[in-house]
Amino acid sequence: MANTWGYGAMTNHVGDMAKNSKMILFIGANSAVANPVGAMKHALQARDRNGAKIVVVDPNFTRTAAKADMYIRIRPGTDIAFVYGMLHLIFKNGWEDKELIKTRTYAVDEIKAEAEKWDPKEVANVTGCKEEELIEFTRMFATTKPATLCWALGITQHSIGSSNTRILALLQLILGNMGKPGGGCNILRGHDNVQGATDMCNLSDSLPAYYGLADNAWKHFCKGWGVDYEQFIKRFAVSTKQPHEKQGEKVPGTNFTEYFHYDPSIEQDVINWRNEKGFSLSKWWQGVLKNEPVLSSGNVRVLWVQGTGITSMAHVRETQEALGKIDMLVVAEPFLNEVAILNDRPDGIYVLPVATQFESEGHLSATNRSGQWRTQIVKPLFESKEDQEVMFLFAKKFGFYDEYVRGMKMGIVDGELKQVKDDFVWPDDATDEIARNTQSIGNNGRTAARFRRQQKNWHLFDPDTLRGIGGEVEGEYYGLPWPCWDTQHPGTPILYDVTKPYADGGMGFRNRFGLEHDGVSQLADESITLPGSKISGGHAEITKANIEQVLGITLSEDEKTKMGPTWSTDYSGIIAKKCREFGICPCGNARARAKVWQFADQIPKHREPIHSPRWDLVEKYPTFADQKRNFRVFTRFISEQKKQDWSKDFPTIVSSLRLVNLSGAGMIERTSKYLSAITPEMFAHVNPKLAADKGIKDGEMMWIHSPQGTKIKVKCIYSHAVTPDRIVMPYNFAGIFQGEDLSERYPEGTKPYIRGESSNTITNYGFDINTQISEFNAGLCRLERA
């Protein structure tokens, strides 16, 4: 499992920021500390080269803020209010890009109507920023072009995280910064290959490359994998009754029943489990504990952990409890993952030694959608095996190895997909399989041969433009950033740029949501045409059904037989070839929609955190209705928020952040003596005034209590980076649980140099309505001297 917590892909790239941006906003990103620290270096370069202004909007004064031209402090979880405040002033002063809104967007008027409600006074009341700061900053940001913004986890890790990401993209759209050099949304992804993991969708709610969970998607992949669809789907159960939900049933030991209304509209007679979302990493334990309603065909009995720390996930207590109840825990890891010592299990734990990145080879995708080949430095040491080897052995044991690897033996011959070899070459054939099967993001041109060739020619790329300047990579962009429509395409360094021809990485907005909505065309205006394109104005995504009409061509019978139903499910390459001839992108040339009609909030709306420090605002900006079923589980929203005024007992806001010397759950770095020495103990930053009120001295130990009744014991470090209403702490520790030192449980030789409480033991209840990301950043707590 890899983590894919970022939400959205980076539209531009850091070289572009350094070369072209005149204004850079870091909002919910601390890039002076959190990798890729290169993003911060490029921002500082932009200041040196273009006189770019750097502004930080963050609840806490960070090291990034220390380097900024302007810093604005807001209350955690109020970014939507802040951005609507900006939009209020933008529309009032006519700073919006009227032409782009008219020709390339849909429903921006609804954003404008919402923005009208957010005058500076209300923004200051909700966010805690000063009115003058908002006004000064908005003028600066809206009138300096091009402007870019960078966000990371301070934006996504909230119960309204997905709305947060949408409002920021909308801001850039409305200001006309989208699709422009120096503009866009530079969404900074965390681990290496987070973008690649997202593209491969190591998640339970979609098939790879955003194809969704639906029969058409299964059919597409079965074809690509060379397996029979009808046989394949038999591996998934089909239930004829909703197993665990009963009308109005009281749930023992919880208080939410009074808010729990059975919703007959989602009753199903038949459940095809292949098309049901699985459990999420955030709430898999609910499938074991079943303390709230769960939709499942049985109990979760095995947890297989491969590439995530688990103590890095919220609700460590529930995790620990669930670990004690499952039949088996498998940890496939280069290090001893602390999930293995968190629980009391006498047996049923298997630790499989896995090789590190240095012992494996293949391609990864960086934060800007660029791929890169990584070479094996040494063969796997001792008895460890590469990740894919572990999976291959698993597949052999369970009898599906042939089907598992067949996709790598496939190829396209004369427009037809078939098995072309008896054995595969790792990792090249895996890379080519991915390129072949994931047309939805324009991966067809991202082959192993091209990545390998680029690796040999690193010296020939311009870091500002990513352009290959000569030799055999001339004209290609570094890493073939997707979409890279075919093996002649150079890649797309900046998304949605309509000033470039198709063959040079130009593209409009995608036509993903139909041709019209509420009677309004979703296609771009007549004036929006890629240079050199034979089709003028907006056009639909290309399908077998519309290709003749959109391109004005007649297909031969042979082409008709070979062509797949849509551009993203066509293995023949014919749709891509025709689009190249006409100079258009197969995904269409459409309008960016400001509203998502399938979402609970069609346009982003401010909603108070589940545990809000402002009870007075909960009435005005309540959270969502409880979610009956998402990722198989019941999720409390309003029932939890309104259960009581949480701020009375838990008056202090708590959020988490990263340390430069530790990463993720921290096991890797905490086994390094020197990295450990930098932060020998788990701590929280506390404003001296708050600490004094609680009678806690600098350097003393304190308890932090959560609304769920959990607690952690950590060191109090005085800091003026935080205001007296809030504290902040790192999340990279484990090995101590609610005051209990688990040191004895590490098998011999595996104990890391430093151990500490995981901040996630007290991370508050709360999950994003769409993604299920935990509310890591806007919870409440109470401090007590230990």
Ligand X SMILES: Nc1nc2c(c(=O)[nH]1)N[C@H]1C(S)=C(S)[C@@H](COP(=O)(O)OP(=O)(O)OC[C@H]3O[C@@H](n4cnc5c(=O)[nH]c(N)nc54)[C@H](O)[C@@H]3O)O[C@H]1N2
For residue 629, the SS3 value is strand
Q: Please report how the helices 79-93 and 131-143 are oriented relative to each other, as an axis angle in degrees rounded to 10.
A: 60
Smallest gap from residue 191 Cβ to Mo ion (A): 6
Segment near Mo ion (CB under 5 A), from 5-13, 411-419, 493-501, 686-694? Answer: 5-13
**Binding of Mo ion at residue 84 (CB under 5 A)?**
no
Nearer to ligand X, 36 or 224 (CB): 36
Smallest gap from residue 189 Cβ to ligand X (A): 7
Which structure tokens are listed for 452?
């390998």
Smallest gap from residue 258 Cβ to ligand X (A): 30
| Positions that interact with ligand X (CB under 6 A) | 3, 5, 27-31, 33-35, 57-60, 62, 76-77, 79, 152-154, 157, 190-191, 306-309, 312, 332-335, 337, 354, 356-357, 387, 655-658, 660, 662-665, 667-668, 731-732, 759-760, 763, 776-778
Smallest gap from residue 146 Cβ to ligand X (A): 21
Binding at 763: pick from ligand X, Mo ion, none (beta carbon under 5-8 Å per type): ligand X
- Complete DSSP assignment for 367-380: TTS-EEEE---SPP
Nearer to ligand X, 639 or 771 (CB): 771
Nearer to ligand X, 275 or 306 (CB): 306
Please work out the total of residues on this chain that contact Mo ion, with binding judged by CB under 5 A.
2
- Helix, strand and coil in the chain, % to nearest 5: 35, 15, 50
Nearer to ligand X, 185 or 484 (CB): 185
**Binding of Mo ion at residue 5 (CB under 5 A)?**
yes
Sort 379 into a burial class: Cβ within 10 Å, 0-12 / 13-18 / 19+. Answer: exposed
**Binding of Mo ion at residue 477 (CB under 5 A)?**
no
Nearer to Mo ion, 34 or 704 (CB): 34
Q: Are 154 and 67 in contact (CB under 8 A)?
A: no
Q: Are 201 and 210 in contact (CB under 8 A)?
A: yes
Smallest gap from residue 576 Cβ to ligand X (A): 33
- Complete DSSP assignment for 438-460: -GGGT-TT--HHHHHHHHHTGGG
Q: Are 433 and 408 in contact (CB under 8 A)?
A: yes
Binding at 306: pick from Mo ion, ligand X, none (beta carbon under 5-8 Å per type): ligand X
CA-wise closest residue to 578 among 537, 546, 611: 546
Smallest gap from residue 283 Cβ to ligand X (A): 14
Nearer to Mo ion, 7 or 496 (CB): 7
Nearer to ligand X, 593 or 705 (CB): 705
Binding at 776: pick from Mo ion, ligand X, none (beta carbon under 5-8 Å per type): ligand X
Binding mask 347-386 for Mo ion (x = CB under 5 A): ----------------------------------------
Binding at 637: pick from ligand X, Mo ion, none (beta carbon under 5-8 Å per type): none
Nearer to Mo ion, 5 or 731 (CB): 5
**What whole-number distance in Å separates Cα of residue 138 and Cα of residue 99?**
20
Nearer to ligand X, 24 or 657 (CB): 657
Smallest gap from residue 167 Cβ to ligand X (A): 12
Binding at 635: pick from ligand X, Mo ion, none (beta carbon under 5-8 Å per type): none
Nearer to Mo ion, 5 or 646 (CB): 5
Smallest gap from residue 510 Cβ to ligand X (A): 26
Nearer to Mo ion, 159 or 639 (CB): 159
CA-wise closest residue to 419 among 432, 410, 427: 410
Which whole-number Å values give the CA distances from 101 to 86, 112, 680, in the listed order? Answer: 17, 11, 52
Binding at 664: pick from Mo ion, ligand X, none (beta carbon under 5-8 Å per type): ligand X
Q: Are 376 and 362 in contact (CB under 8 A)?
A: no
Which structure tokens are listed for 347?
């047996």
**What whole-number distance in Å separates Cα of residue 523 and Cα of residue 308?**
41
Smallest gap from residue 661 Cβ to Mo ion (A): 17
**Binding of Mo ion at residue 309 (CB under 5 A)?**
no
Q: Which residues contact 307 (CB under 8 A, 6 or more apart)?
A: 1, 2, 332, 333, 387
Which whole-number Å values give the CA distances from 415 to 112, 584, 591, 604, in the listed order? Answer: 48, 21, 32, 44
Q: What are phi and psi of 709, to 5 degrees?
A: 85, 15
Q: What are phi and psi of 337, to 5 degrees?
A: -70, 140
CB nearest Mo ion: which residue?
190
Kindly calculate the radius of gyration of the chain based on its CA atoms and give it in whole angstroms.
26
Nearer to ligand X, 199 or 276 (CB): 199
Smallest gap from residue 692 Cβ to ligand X (A): 23
Nearer to Mo ion, 310 or 618 (CB): 310
Q: Which residues contact 69 (CB under 8 A, 6 or more apart)?
A: 53, 54, 55
**What whole-number distance in Å separates Cα of residue 612 and Cα of residue 617?**
8
CA-wise closest residue to 693 among 785, 765, 761, 588: 785
Smallest gap from residue 14 Cβ to ligand X (A): 14
Smallest gap from residue 502 Cβ to ligand X (A): 33
Length of the chain, in residues: 786
For residue 405, the SS3 value is helix
The 147-151 sheet, strands edge to edge: 70-72, 53-57, 23-27, 147-151, 185-187
**Dihedral-angle region of residue 182 (phi above 0 means left; psi in -120 to 50 means alpha; beta otherwise):** left
Nearer to ligand X, 79 or 640 (CB): 79
Binding at 767: pick from Mo ion, ligand X, none (beta carbon under 5-8 Å per type): none
**Binding of Mo ion at residue 141 (CB under 5 A)?**
no
Q: Are 60 and 728 in contact (CB under 8 A)?
A: yes
Smallest gap from residue 281 Cβ to ligand X (A): 8
Smallest gap from residue 195 Cβ to Mo ion (A): 11
Residue 428 CA to its chain's centroid (Å): 27
Binding mask 176-195 for Mo ion (x = CB under 5 A): --------------x-----
Binding at 312: pick from ligand X, Mo ion, none (beta carbon under 5-8 Å per type): ligand X
Q: Are 654 and 727 in contact (CB under 8 A)?
A: yes
**Binding of Mo ion at residue 731 (CB under 5 A)?**
no
Q: In the complex, which residues of this chain contact Mo ion (CB under 5 A)?
A: 5, 190
